Chains A and B, each alone.
Chain A
């Protein structure tokens, strides 16, 4: 008994894709409302005969006195131009409208699906011809063409279904084609091809299941369009005179004096039916799309979460060596807050000081909270991010207490950022020069425009880009040039601090070296303070004054560069150092650290590095280590230092 119970257990736990789908679907109010509305109208249509108070299929017992009787009494929704009960007509009309909608959409989706899959799968000339044909059909206005064809043939239900169906496939074909293109180069499709599966087999078993979700969403849209088109055709007088659809009801009412008779019920009721079905389908389709392609959760203009103010400690004005301190971060903590989940601590209790002219390396693997920390400094966190403790002092001012307008004067003017990658950091539809110009104009509006132009040229020359390129767009620059231009833009307002957030990732090694040299020479020339964010300790070795190593959102170790390289105390720093080549010890093997940094929502209870730490003790897994202050400014958080 027990064995059976146990063996059946994993089965219930494994989630089928349909079940997962249903769970997300259930939480989407739009899709749920749409589905409910659709089911209601489907039931009305199916049980029309049982629900309708009158048999509208026969014209017995109808007299002229019954024409356009107002709602109430024997006829809940009044009577129409033929003296028939509007409510009963409404139920039977639902049948016709839905039948036309579903069958026509079925034809459209079938044709569009076949054309899209064939074009996407086979490519080449077949694709070219099919898609050109689709483009042509897409441009030709469909309702007028339907009108022409139905007018020239018999306006029977079958004809209408086919005409709407045969002309409504273009959007389906386009969507299916691009989805097919996207999935056909996936690994398992290529594998199926490699083991000799036939084209038909691949399409049926590998492509179609992946195209299906999109096809369903599109089909829902096509059904609603077909219903709208049918009603329009009927209204124009091209409906099947023997099939009283909602559109046909409206045609009769409008054409036979409902307006002058003031019989609003004959005009309102069938129209509401169309609106009901189309709205149901629209809500369902829209909701399904949200379920299948969840959008990015936020955008950059949403209001951020308020800073949780904490006790302020006065900032230190000068470091021990007498140099002024520009930026002091005190015990900064940042949470990511998502509805329905406990907040995830992305940065915890991080402190550092940046002196004038200092270059600090901020090192750690991806996902260790480096970028979050840097964005928090300028209060540029995404809306889910919240500073929940600590202070950021910049030249004696508390950035965590400033309002948005004050912050705007500090951003770029006091502290600027060189974003990583730089491809999308520039607006693609504005020239590079224009975007640098904008920054200068924002912060020194009194400067005349020609002076700003000169400054833009000067800045570009400074980073080794000829001034004539300022009229070019970002896509006309190479990756390295864009990164240089980004640096030029970061320097535009003579900031005291520049944050370089992984400025060399995604660039090739030669360009990386050039960018690094450029940053270092600019620092010396302009007296900048730089925070250099990187996951590569080697990059910062020769340039930095100090290094802050982060792991899982906390400070692993913070010390001068000499200490970090020669006497690291935290095992993570030690492992990172082993992972980069030391040219003086050529016989040494490079080591990588197995595993990945912890996910923010699954932080281990003890030291965050413990699961990957080669020297972990028992308490490391249960108890977070304290931040130990060692000699001078050297700090590290590790149980090995507990003494």
Chain B
């Protein structure tokens, strides 16, 4: 019963946050001055028909929201626009139908462009996350276990240094080094490789993934090491570790059966909170390595001023991060028996 309430509360908040992002995403692109569709119609050289055509095409002829233009108490009373015909509701309606607009650059539906790219980003982030968590956790365990030894100081300095690296710069350096050593310089696959047999195709993709994943792993393992180390240090100073030792358990048994699960719990939350930062890293890595993912889409749409793609990519990323957070929350509640009774 309590557990169900907890789940419902978490899901409710995630939905609310998604709604917030939706509204934010809509208004950012309506209020801030950059969008050429709106900036363009103010160009005095345009003919009246052309302006109208643009306005109809992008739905700018409709009011933004009900009486948004006339936030004027006198006019509000006579405000009779059908709310369903405002830009906001058209936008929401389109979203519900999976329509994110048309790319200025390629004239293709944004949803189709992003759908291809979402998987590439998930592939990159997935591989990078798994590797950086594994490396970080192992390094953190050794650092905490061998506290205040050379191993500990070494791990600590390595992780602080890794944390301080700008992601895109590390990518550039690795790319510089990799291209000199015969690794592919960017993209997800060598052009024309789609005709090759599947095994070779996968090898090709693997080679392309190597450097981006390595960049990702180095940048994020530092933080996981630090968190694992401090969390495990806290746990190892707990009374129940002394109990376990008094019970005659070996160091390995204590680490495995009593320390790790407890120390991993904070890591779950951090991984979730980190997903936001993670996306920031993916954005930079994809820009450097021309990886065809969502981050790459954001980078390209900025360069090409392709705002529908930018708007769609941001929305998709934000929603994905919110959902990932929700999953982490639920995992945490499942792992830690204390949460359910709170």
Whole-angstrom distance from the CB of B227 to the nearest CB of chain A? Answer: 13
Interface residues in B, total, Cβ within 8 A: 88
Chain B window 232-260, contacts with chain A (Cβ cutoff 8 Å), 1 for yes, 0 for no: 01101111111111111111011101110
Which of B65-73, B110-118, B129-137, B277-285 forms contacts with chain A?
Answer: B277-285
Chain B window 203-217, contacts with chain A (Cβ cutoff 8 Å), 1 for yes, 0 for no: 000000000000000
B contact residues around A279 at 8 Å (CB): 160-161, 164
Is A555's CB within 8 Å of the partner chain B?
Answer: no
Query: Is there contact, CB below 8 Å, between A475 and B341?
Result: yes
Which residue, of A140, A247, A282, A299, has the highest number of chain B Cβ atoms within 10 A? A299
Query: Is there contact, CB below 8 Å, between A143 and B176?
Result: no
Chain B window 7-49, contacts with chain A (Cβ cutoff 8 Å), 1 for yes, 0 for no: 0000001001100110011001100111100000000000000
With A140-B318, A267-B173 given, is the CB distance from A152 to B35 under 8 Å? Answer: yes
Is B6's CB within 8 Å of the partner chain A?
Answer: no
Which residue, of B242, B273, B277, B279, has the highest number of chain A Cβ atoms within 10 A? B242
Query: Is there contact, CB below 8 Å, between A413 and B248?
Result: yes
How far, in angstroms, from A443 to B246 measured CA to CA in the complex?
12
Query: Is there contact, CB below 8 Å, between A235 and B168?
Result: yes
Query: Is there contact, CB below 8 Å, between B237 and A296?
Result: yes
Query: Is there contact, CB below 8 Å, between B280 and A141?
Result: yes
Which of A72-80, A190-198, A421-429, A533-541 forms contacts with chain B?
Answer: A421-429
Is A138's CB within 8 Å of the partner chain B?
Answer: yes
Which of A59-67, A404-412, A524-532 forms contacts with chain B?
Answer: A404-412
How far, in angstroms, from A254 to B160 measured CA to CA in the complex?
26
Contact among B20, B28, B248 with A409 in the assembled complex (CB-CB below 8 Å): B248
A contact residues around B321 at 8 Å (CB): 139-141
Contact among A138, A147, A274 with B276 in the assembled complex (CB-CB below 8 Å): A138
Which of B92-100, B190-198, B297-305 forms contacts with chain A?
Answer: B297-305
Is A145's CB within 8 Å of the partner chain B?
Answer: yes
Query: Is there contact, CB below 8 Å, between A147 and B298?
Result: yes
Query: Is there contact, CB below 8 Å, between A427 and B299?
Result: no
Query: Is there contact, CB below 8 Å, between B172 and A473?
Result: no
CB proximity to A under 8 Å, residues B139-192: 144-145, 147-148, 160-161, 163-169, 172-173, 175-176, 179
Is B85's CB within 8 Å of the partner chain A?
Answer: no
Question: A138's closest neighbor in chain B, by CB?
Answer: B273
A contact residues around B284 at 8 Å (CB): 232, 235-236
Query: Is there contact, CB below 8 Å, between B280 and A298?
Result: no
Question: A276's closest neighbor in chain B, by CB?
Answer: B164
Is B105's CB within 8 Å of the partner chain A?
Answer: no
Chain A window 254-266, contacts with chain B (Cβ cutoff 8 Å), 1 for yes, 0 for no: 1000010000100
Query: Is there contact, CB below 8 Å, between A442 and B254?
Result: no
With A301-B236, A425-B243 given, is the CB distance from A236 to B164 under 8 Å? Answer: no
How far, in angstroms, from A259 to B185 measured CA to CA in the complex?
10
A contact residues around B244 at 8 Å (CB): 427
Query: Is there contact, CB below 8 Å, between B168 and A411?
Result: no
A contact residues around B341 at 8 Å (CB): 475-476
Is A11's CB within 8 Å of the partner chain B?
Answer: no
Is A400's CB within 8 Å of the partner chain B?
Answer: no
For the complex, would chain A's binding face be called helix, strand, loop or mixed by DSSP majority?
A: helix
A contact residues around B169 at 8 Å (CB): 231, 235, 250, 267, 271, 274-275
How far, in angstroms, from A237 to B298 measured CA to CA in the complex?
12
B contact residues around A430 at 8 Å (CB): 257-258
Whole-angstrom distance from the CB of A225 to the nearest CB of chain B? Answer: 9
How far, in angstroms, from A270 to B237 measured CA to CA in the complex?
43
Query: Is there contact, CB below 8 Å, between A136 and B20?
Result: yes
Whole-angstrom distance from the CB of A340 to the nearest CB of chain B? Answer: 14
Contact among B164, B239, B253 with A424 in the assembled complex (CB-CB below 8 Å): B239
Whole-angstrom distance from the CB of B91 to the nearest CB of chain A? Answer: 16
Query: Is there contact, CB below 8 Å, between A300 and B276?
Result: no
Chain A window 125-167, contacts with chain B (Cβ cutoff 8 Å), 1 for yes, 0 for no: 0000000100110111111110111011100000000000000
Whole-angstrom distance from the CB of B25 to the nearest CB of chain A? Answer: 8
Contact among A229, A268, A405, A427 with B258 in the assembled complex (CB-CB below 8 Å): A427
How far, in angstroms, from A569 to B54 measured CA to CA in the complex?
104
Whole-angstrom distance from the CB of B268 to the nearest CB of chain A? Answer: 12
B contact residues around A302 at 8 Å (CB): 147-148
A contact residues around B261 at 8 Å (CB): 429
With A419-B239, A425-B239 given, is the CB distance from A411 to B17 under 8 Å? Answer: no
How far, in angstroms, from A140 to B265 measured CA to CA in the complex?
22
Query: Is there contact, CB below 8 Å, between B172 and A267?
Result: yes
Query: Is there contact, CB below 8 Å, between B164 and A153?
Result: no
How far, in angstroms, from A408 to B280 measured CA to CA in the complex?
49
How far, in angstroms, from A149 to B31 measured CA to CA in the complex?
10
Query: Is there contact, CB below 8 Å, between B160 and A429?
Result: no
Query: Is there contact, CB below 8 Å, between A475 and B338?
Result: yes
Query: Is there contact, CB below 8 Å, between B246 and A438?
Result: no
Is A416's CB within 8 Å of the partner chain B?
Answer: yes
With A147-B302, A235-B287, A301-B254 given, is the CB distance from A141 to B317 under 8 Å? Answer: yes
How far, in angstroms, from A526 to B176 measured CA to CA in the complex?
74
Query: Is there contact, CB below 8 Å, between A429 and B337?
Result: yes
Query: Is there contact, CB below 8 Å, between B248 and A149?
Result: no
Question: A271's closest neighbor in chain B, by CB?
Answer: B169
How far, in angstroms, from A421 to B238 measured CA to CA in the complex?
13
Query: Is there contact, CB below 8 Å, between B172 and A300?
Result: no
Which residue, of A232, A247, A250, A279, has the highest number of chain B Cβ atoms within 10 A? A232
Closest A-B pairs by Cβ, 8 of them: A143-B280, A299-B236, A152-B34, A152-B32, A271-B169, A424-B239, A411-B248, A278-B164
* 27 A-B residue pairs with CB within 8 Å: A140-B21, A144-B298, A144-B314, A149-B32, A151-B310, A153-B32, A153-B34, A232-B284, A259-B172, A271-B172, A278-B164, A282-B164, A299-B147, A300-B245, A301-B236, A380-B242, A407-B248, A408-B248, A408-B250, A424-B239, A424-B240, A425-B240, A429-B265, A430-B257, A439-B248, A473-B338, A489-B247
Binding site for B on A (CB under 8 A): 132, 135-136, 138-145, 147-149, 151-153, 224, 228-229, 231-232, 235-238, 247, 250, 254, 259, 264, 267-268, 271, 274-275, 278-279, 282-283, 286, 295-296, 298-302, 378, 380, 405, 407-413, 416-417, 419, 421, 423-430, 438-439, 442-443, 473, 475-476, 489
Contacts A232-B167, A282-B160, A300-B237 known; 11 new A-B pairs at CB < 8 A: A136-B16, A141-B276, A142-B280, A151-B307, A235-B284, A300-B242, A408-B249, A412-B248, A419-B239, A427-B258, A429-B338
